[in-house]
């Protein structure tokens, strides 16, 4: 049997509820829905961090955040501090004879990953930007709108793009995949990762997907106008900011602006979905579909107006950010086609599972589990809780409860700014039971489990010291040693 190809499609910021196959009544995702019907849909998949780089590192290394050590974004002072020999999906499969490539919102340290990729196209680097060059060659660079709109960066507002799908970030990712496949040696198996920016802001889909939701009376989630009085002060701060947000387009009210955001968000999801359909079509035309494992996932979710929030912050304590789509499809493989798996899986499980399916030895550094049995119909419990980490907060979620732990005094005005939710009876996480004495025993048992999990899973031989070697092998001064715990990053707490 020939070695399977592996195609990972990792979108950015896709709320797991916002999929037709997951029960959403309005968002249109026909290609992802079909992929789920022909494959395996994990409905309780969770990421280990609420922001881009740490979460992507978990996927690529199979390690928990406290082990790979990247708590902040790749542009922060930690950049350049990942050891070159830390195993990744790309390095492991490259060493096993695979052609490897990645395109899109790579968002991890380039010097660590690029040496192991036959194609490396980061569309969001500040220098030698491949997507800029592509648009510039066609005279379209002034119309680029995936990161800014007429000089306004990462706007929460939304409208139709002036670009065609072919020239959108998803269209460029598709063209790069085709170029990669055409350029690799015939018969060589491949691992390729497509990282389109959407449905991350800017929520500016091409016109056909913006128009897809024209005239639709978009339904708000039940928590859209929630009273946040029992939540940490940082959440009320984010909501107050949203209420006063300087919208770009008319009408410039919060009520109208949030509906435009939702329309743009759904349009961007449908645009990514369209790319997925074209990818599958191209693989079929090239005779590669039956030999290719496709995984659709995302780095984290988006509030999509849950709790009244416009984007992904403050996301450490909510399923809207931590629960994500996770769909596997392999037409020529022995998967339990059409199955829905409700057992917990984590992003760290991707790496060991594709190793298992390809017959590649997984690195010893991996923390995740091989979930191949689940893909084949054995839904034996792998774990009974999942965990997400941020520098000054940790969240543990079981099937019944969720606890977000924060150090005492971290939030002004709240001595103990924790959160506790009964996710069975309160699936939208609107009632914080943390301070209710009736639930004290549950809260403390979850806190103890979380603490013990940290002890059991820490790979001390792989932990970073307090001072880290910089890119030039010198020590980074203490005043520069920081992660996402900045004024900006604190809103995710």
Residue 72: pLDDT band by 50, 70, 90 thresholds? Answer: confident
User: What DSSP string describes 157-209?
Assistant: -B---SS-TTTSHHHHHHHHHHHHHHHSPTT--EEEEEE--TTSSPB---HHH
The mean predicted confidence, pLDDT, of the chain is 90
253 found inside a domain: yes
Q: What is the predicted pLDDT for the residue at 488?
A: 37
Q: In CATH, what number is assigned to the domain containing residue 124? A: 3.40.720.10
89 found inside a domain: yes
Sole residue written with tokens 């001064």: 477
Q: What is the predicted pLDDT for the residue at 83?
A: 76
152 found inside a domain: yes
Range ranked top by mean pLDDT from 42-46, 76-80, 315-319: 42-46
| 230: Cα within 13 Å, side-chain hemisphere | 12
Q: What is the predicted pLDDT for the residue at 480?
A: 30
25 found inside a domain: yes
183 found inside a domain: yes
The pair of structure tokens assigned to 93 is: 């499969």
Residue 409 neighbours by CB distance under 10 Å: 10
Beta strands in 384-472 (DSSP E): 386-390, 393-397, 401-405, 419-422
453 found inside a domain: no
**Structural domain total, the chain:** 1
Residue 466 has pLDDT above 80, yes or no: no
pLDDT, average across residues 167-176: 98
408 SS3 class: coil
323 SS3 class: strand
Residue 234 has pLDDT above 80, yes or no: yes
**Exposed, middle or buried by CB within 10 Å (0-12, 13-18, 19+), for 236?**
middle
Q: What is the pLDDT of residues 237-261, one digit of tens each?
A: 999 999 999 999 999 999 999 999 9
Residue 281 has pLDDT above 50, yes or no: yes
457 found inside a domain: no
pLDDT, average across residues 385-409: 94
CA distances from 55 to 8, 10, 180 (A): 15, 11, 25
pTM for the model stands at 0.92
Residue 491 neighbours by CB distance under 10 Å: 18
pLDDT, average across residues 27-42: 98
286 found inside a domain: yes
Please list the residues that pair with 194 across neighbouring strands: 9, 103
Residue 486: pLDDT band by 50, 70, 90 thresholds? Answer: very low
Residue 470 has pLDDT above 50, yes or no: no
Query: Measured between alpha carbons, how far is 306 from 314 in angstroms, rounded to an integer?
Result: 11
Residue 437 has pLDDT above 70, yes or no: yes
Query: Measured between alpha carbons, how far is 493 from 74 in angstroms, rounded to an integer?
Result: 19
Q: What is the predicted pLDDT for the residue at 77?
A: 42
The pair of structure tokens assigned to 252 is: 């410039």
Q: Which domain holds residue 68?
A: 5-384
Q: What is the predicted pLDDT for the residue at 153?
A: 87
């Amino acid at each position: 049997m020939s070695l399977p190809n592996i195609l990972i499609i990792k979108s950015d910021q896709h709320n797991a509820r916002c999929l037709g196959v997951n029960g959403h009544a309005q968002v249109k995702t026909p290609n992802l829905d079909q992929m789920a019907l022909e494959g395996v849909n994990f409905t309780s998949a969770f990421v280990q961090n609420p922001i881009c780089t740490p979460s992507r590192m978990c996927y690529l290394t199979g390690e928990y955040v406290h082990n790979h050590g990247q708590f902040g974004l790749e542009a922060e002072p930690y950049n350049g501090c990942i050891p070159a020999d830390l195993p990744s999906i790309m390095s492991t499969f490259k060493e096993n004879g695979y052609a490897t490539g990645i395109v899109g919102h790579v968002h991890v340290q380039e010097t660590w990953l690029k040496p192991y990729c036959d194609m490396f196209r980061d569309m969001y680097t500040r220098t030698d930007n491949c997507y800029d060059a592509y648009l510039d060659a066609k005279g379209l660079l002034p119309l680029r709108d995936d990161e800014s709109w007429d000089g306004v960066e990462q706007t929460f507002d939304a409208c139709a793009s002036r670009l065609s799908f072919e020239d959108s970030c998803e269209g460029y990712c598709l063209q790069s995949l085709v170029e990669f496949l055409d350029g690799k040696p015939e018969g060589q198996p491949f691992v390729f990762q497509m990282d389109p920016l959407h449905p991350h802001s800017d929520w500016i889909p091409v016109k056909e997907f913006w128009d897809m939701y024209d005239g639709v009376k978009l339904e708000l989630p039940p928590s859209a106008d929630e009273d946040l009085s029992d939540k940490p002060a940082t959440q009320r701060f984010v909501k107050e900011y949203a209420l006063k947000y300087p919208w770009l387009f008319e009408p410039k009210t919060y009520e109208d602006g949030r509906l435009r955001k939702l329309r743009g968000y759904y349009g961007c999801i449908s645009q990514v979905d369209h790319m997925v359909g074209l990818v599958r079509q191209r693989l079929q035309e090239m005779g590669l579909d039956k030999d290719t494992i496709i995984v659709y996932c995302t780095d984290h979710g988006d509030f999509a107006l849950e709790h009244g929030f416009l984007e992904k912050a403050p996301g450490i304590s909510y399923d809207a950010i931590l629960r994500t789509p996770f769909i596997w499809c392999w037409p020529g493989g022995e998967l339990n086609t059409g199955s829905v798996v409700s057992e917990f899986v984590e992003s760290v499980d991707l790496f060991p599972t594709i190793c298992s399916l390809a017959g590649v030895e997984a690195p010893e550094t991996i923390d995740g589990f091989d979930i191949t049995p689940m893909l084949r119909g054995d839904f034996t419990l792998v774990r009974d809780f999942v965990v997400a980490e941020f520098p000054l907060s940790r969240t543990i979620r079981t099937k019944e409860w969720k606890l977000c732990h924060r150090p005492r005094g971290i939030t002004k005005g709240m001595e103990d700014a924790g959160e506790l939710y009964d996710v069975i009876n309160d699936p939208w996480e609107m009632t914080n039971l943390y301070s209710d004495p009736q639930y004290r025993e549950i809260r403390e048992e979850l806190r103890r489990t979380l603490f013990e999990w940290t002890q059991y899973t820490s790979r001390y031989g792989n932990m970073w010291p307090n001072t880290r070697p910089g890119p030039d092998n010198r020590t980074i001064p203490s005043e520069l040693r920081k992660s996402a715990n900045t004024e900006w990053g604190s809103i995710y707490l």
